[in-house]
Structure 1
Amino acid sequence: MPATTQPIRWTEQVSAPASLAERVEFMLWVPPDASITWEHEVVPDANADLLLELSDERCRAVLYGPLTRTIHVPTRAHHGYLVVHFHPGAMPRLVDASPSELVNEAVELRTLGGVSLDAMGERLLAAGSLERMSEVLVPLLERVSYPPGDSFDRALRRMAVRSEPLRPGALADELHLSTRTLQRAFKERVGFSPRMYTRIARLQEALCVLRASPGCSLSEVAHRIGYADHAHMTREFRELTGRTPSHFRPPARAVPTRVASVQARGASPS
C-alpha cells in the first residue's frame, strides 16, 4: 500500500478483478468532493502506478515508475483521482520505456488501450462509483501487454515464504541461478537490485505496522519486521525516506482531514 504522511480519507478501494489479479493489487478512487489542494509526501515503493486525474476540463493519465526515494506530489481540490496500483514487477507496457528507465520518473500518456483520454475521462466521470469505473477501465488494461513470468517471479515467491530476507547470493543459490541472472531479472522487472527491493519491501511492511498498531513500540516493530534492532530500522528509514519511524505514526487523536492520498509521483498537474 502506498504510504504518505497523511491518512487516506473518503476514498473507495477495490481489489483487482480476477482477470487482472496477477497484475493489479488494487484500485483506488478519490472523488472530486473529497480531494484537496495538497502536496503529498510519498515514500519509496517497488510498485508502479497508473494515475488518472479527472476534471470537467480533461482527463490526465500518468504512469509512475517505482520509487527509491521520497518525493512530494501535489493534488488539486475538486479533481478526482483514480489510481491503479500494480504488483511489483507488473508494470504494463504503456510506454516505450523499461522499469529501470522509470525509477523515480513519470510519463504522461496520450491514449490508454487505444482509446483517447478525453473520451475515457467522460465515461469515467459519468460512471460515478469505483465499481462502475472499473467496468470502463479494466477492458482497456486487459488489452495492454505485461511482462512474462521469469526468474523475478520465482524469487518473489521464494522471498514471500521466508521469515528473514535472504542475501542476493543466497537467494540465487536457492533458485539455482547465478547472482548475475537474479540481478538482471530484478533490474528488468522493477528497475533496481534485489537488495534495494528487499529494503523497500521491508520499509513498506514497517509502515503498515506503524499505522495499524500505533501502541506498538519501535523496538517491537523492528523485531516483528526483521530489522536487527531499533537503531537499524531508524537508520534505514532515514536513508530511504529522510525521516525517522516516529514521523509515520498516526497522531494519537487525529482529527479527520479531507485528504486525497494517491500514489502519484513526479510531474505536477498543469
Structure 2
Amino acid sequence: MNFSLQEYPPSALLSPFVECYWKGAFNLNAEGAVSFQMVPNACLELIIHLDDLRCNFPGTEDWVQTPDYMIIGLITQPHEIRFPSTVPVFTIRFKPEALYHLFRFNGSEIIETYEDMTLLLGNDIRDFCHQIREESQVERMIQRAENYLLKKLEKRKGEPGYVNQAAELIRNSQHINIRDISDHVCVSQRQLERKFREVVGVSPKHYLRLTRMNRVMRVLEQNRSLSLSSVAYYCGYFDQAHFIKDFKRITGLNPTFFHKERQKFIVLPGQVYIDEPLYGT
C-alpha cells in the first residue's frame, strides 16, 4: 500500500469532539502522481500539510492544489484525491458536530467539499497550524493540538447541546429511529432534523447510514480474513441486498470488488471497538 498512517486517541475531555489524531504520508514511493479514492468516514478532517508538498483535488477543468491547512467536510460519496509526490500530514479527525461546538461553524457549509481553514477561522487557526509544522515529534504535535482545543472548549462552557447528544446516540446504536432520538434529547422530531442537518450537514437518518458503513470499514480493517456476510451481520445488516445497496451508495463499488481493490482507496474510519467475537470464513 502506497501510504501509511498512525492513529492516536484524544484525551477524555476532548473525546466527545475529536475522533482521533493521526500522522501519515501518502505516495510513499514518489514515483509520479498517484490517485486514490477517499471513502466517507462520517467525520471531518483538519489536515495540516507538514511541508510544501500538498495533495490535489479535482477542479472544474483540472486538478487544484489544496491549501496548506484545510478542513474536509462531511462527505457522503467517494472523492478522488491525487498526490504528486510524497505528502506528509498531521490530521485532527473531528466528529461532525464538533465544528459548531468548538468554532461555531456549521458543517452544512462545507458538506462534500473542503475549505482553507485560515479563511474560515482567521489568524488563530493559522498560528496554531504554523506551530504544528514547527514540531518534529508527533507527541508534541498532539500536545499542541490538545492545548489549543481545550482552550476552545473552555470558552464553550456547559454541556454539549442536543445535536451532540443525538449524534452520539446514532454512533453508539445500530438500530434506532429518529423518533426515539428526539424523545431522548427532548426536542421535536422536526426541530431535531432541521438543526441536525444545519450543524452536521446531513439528516440524522443519512448520518446513521454513514456511521453504520463506517463501522463496516473499521471491522474490515481489523479483521481482513472475515467474510463480507459476517461483517454485514455484525454491523447490523440482516438483509444482504440492503447491505450491498448501502455499500455501493457510499463507496461506489460492489463490496466484493472493493475488498479486492482495497489498495486503491483511502479508508480512514472512525474508532469502532470490537466488543464481541466475530466468526466467518
TM-score in terms of structure 1 length: 0.76
Count of residue pairs brought into register by the alignment? 250
Q: C-alpha distance in 1, partners of 2:242/2:256?
A: 14
Q: C-alpha distance in 1, partners of 2:10/2:123?
A: 21
Residue of structure 2 in register with 1:181 after alignment: 191
Residue of structure 1 in register with 2:68 after alignment: 60
- Corresponding residue SS for 1:68: coil
Structure 2 unpaired stretches of 5+: 55-66, 269-281
Q: What is the CA-CA distance between 1:150 and the residue it aligns to?
A: 1.7
Preserved contact between residue 2 and residue 27 of structure 2 (Cα < 8 Å): no
- Corresponding residue SS for 2:77: coil
Q: C-alpha distance in 1, partners of 2:188/2:111?
A: 24
Residue of structure 2 in register with 1:15 after alignment: 9
Instruction: Give percent identity, aligned residues only.
Output: 24
Closer, same or farther: CA 180–210 of 1 in aligned 2, 3 Å:
same
* Larger displacement relative to structure 2 (109-118 or 40-49): 109-118
Which one of 46, 50, 57 corresponds to residue 50 of structure 1? 46
Residue of structure 1 in register with 2:165 after alignment: 154
Residue of structure 1 in register with 2:277 after alignment: none
Preserved contact between residue 48 and residue 85 of structure 1 (Cα < 8 Å): yes
Which one of 214, 217, 238 corresponds to residue 204 of structure 1? 214
Residue of structure 1 in register with 2:276 after alignment: none
Residue of structure 2 in register with 1:139 after alignment: 147
Deviations 1:104-140 (A, max 9, x none): 021113377745848954x434421211122333333
Which one of 203, 209, 214 corresponds to residue 193 of structure 1? 203
AA aligned opposite 2:196: F
Deviations 1:145-174 (A, max 9, x none): 687722223323444554x42222343245
Q: What is the CA-CA distance between 1:22 and the residue it aligns to?
A: 2.6
Residue of structure 2 in register with 1:268 after alignment: none
Preserved contact between residue 41 and residue 210 of structure 2 (Cα < 8 Å): yes
Q: What is the CA-CA distance between 1:18 and the residue it aligns to?
A: 4.3
Q: Does 1:38 align with 2:3?
A: no
- Corresponding residue SS for 1:249: helix
Closer, same or farther: CA 60–260 of 1 in aligned 2, 3 Å:
farther
- Corresponding residue SS for 1:195: helix
TM-score in terms of structure 2 length: 0.73
Q: C-alpha distance in 1, partners of 2:160/2:84?
A: 38
Q: C-alpha distance in 2, partners of 1:74/1:187?
A: 30
AA aligned opposite 2:15: A
AA aligned opposite 1:21: S
Equivalence map 1:81-160=2 (5 Å): 81-91=89-99, 98-110=106-118, 114-115=123-124, 117=126, 120-121=129-130, 123-144=131-152, 149-159=160-170
Q: C-alpha distance in 2, partners of 1:47/1:54?
A: 21
Q: C-alpha distance in 2, partners of 1:183/1:35?
A: 45
Closer, same or farther: CA 218–19 of 1 in aligned 2, 3 Å:
closer
The structure whose RCO (Cα within 8 Å, separation 6+) is larger is 1
Q: C-alpha distance in 1, partners of 2:122/2:144?
A: 11
RMSD: 3.5
Structure 1 unpaired stretches of 5+: 1-5, 264-270
Q: C-alpha distance in 1, partners of 2:215/2:201?
A: 20
* Larger displacement relative to structure 2 (23-32 or 78-87): 23-32
* Larger displacement relative to structure 2 (135-144 or 74-83): 135-144
Closer, same or farther: CA 136–250 of 1 in aligned 2, 3 Å:
farther
